[in-house]
């Protein structure tokens, strides 16, 4: 997948921000028209970036995982890293409860969930999966 132009990336981020807010307020089954209105983009822009609700939800999960990873990396070496990361996770769950509910309801073998699980598995210094 090639990188998005900066204006396209900015519109994609606007859509994700809007979807996060709309879904947090109205639930994940809220009309996508609300996301379009909140983002200030056209219907074609939404569907060019996210062909369906599942693609939008997957992108929100990916963005959430990236934020958690970035937060964990930023906290390396901090004596209170575990507590700060837990606080970050709790805040994310509290502010996006409908999104959390959506992912809890999905089959654990769903490809998006399986990929997220692989992404969060522990790895050794060489990037190989390390299982205790």
Q: Is the pLDDT of residue 10 over 80?
A: yes
Average pLDDT on 108-126 reads 73
Percent composition of the chain: helix, strand, coil (DSSP 3-state, to 5): 70, 0, 30
Q: Is the pLDDT of residue 48 over 90?
A: yes
- 6-120, CATH topology level: Tetracycline Repressor; domain 2 (1.10.357)
N-terminal to C-terminal alpha carbon distance within the chain: 34
Q: Is the dihedral of CA 18, 13, 16, 82 positive or negative?
A: negative
pLDDT, residue 130, reads 60
pLDDT, residue 30, reads 93
pLDDT digits (tens, 9 = 90+) for 76-93: 888 988 898 888 888 877
Residue 97 DSSP SS3: helix
Q: How far apart (Å, rounded) are the C-alpha atoms in residues 123 and 50?
A: 31
Single pTM value for the model: 0.72
């Amino acid at each position: 997948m090639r990188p998005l132009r900066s204006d396209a990336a900015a519109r994609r981020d606007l859509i994700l921000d809007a979807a996060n807010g709309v879904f947090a307020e109205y639930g994940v089954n809220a009309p996508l028209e609300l996301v379009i209105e909140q983002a200030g983009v056209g219907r074609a822009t939404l569907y060019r970036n996210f062909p369906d609700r599942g693609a939008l939800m997957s992108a929100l999960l990916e963005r959430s995982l990236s934020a958690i990873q970035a937060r964990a990396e930023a906290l390396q070496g901090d004596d209170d890293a575990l507590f700060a990361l837990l606080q970050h996770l709790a805040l994310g769950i509290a502010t996006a409860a409908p999104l959390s509910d959506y992912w809890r309801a999905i089959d654990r073998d769903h490809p998006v969930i399986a990929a997220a699980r692989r992404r969060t598995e522990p790895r050794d210094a060489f990037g190989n999966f390390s299982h205790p």
